[in-house]
Amino acid sequence: MSDDDAASEASASDDFETELARARDLLDGDDIDAVHVGVVRDGEVDTTFAQRTDDDPDGAGLRALALLAAHVRLVAGEAGVEPSTVAGDAATLAGQVEQIPASTDQIPDE
């Protein structure tokens, strides 16, 4: 491994640790209405969604949509594309998926 590869790997590790610490700080708040978490370990994807209920079904749906919108924007930023592109692709995939895959091995080939 070259010095550049080692430095790049160390930087990626530091970036990941920074993001992980930021996520933990965000979860410490008492004013959280809803959370959607995706964790990848050895190619296996675990996701969970939780929200506080307050006898407002419309509010619960809007919180879920707000979480989805935030995720779409994050993925778009990472991919360097417009959020509408990611949303369109996600909608297309959602129409084709009969069940939510629990691991990357369960994602169908194109």
pLDDT tens-digit map of 5-28: 666 666 777 888 888 888 888 888
Confidence of residue 60 (pLDDT cuts 50, 70, 90): low
Closest CA to 10 of 1, 40, 75: 1
Q: Domain-by-domain residue ranges, the chain? A: 55-99
d(CA 36, CA 59): 16
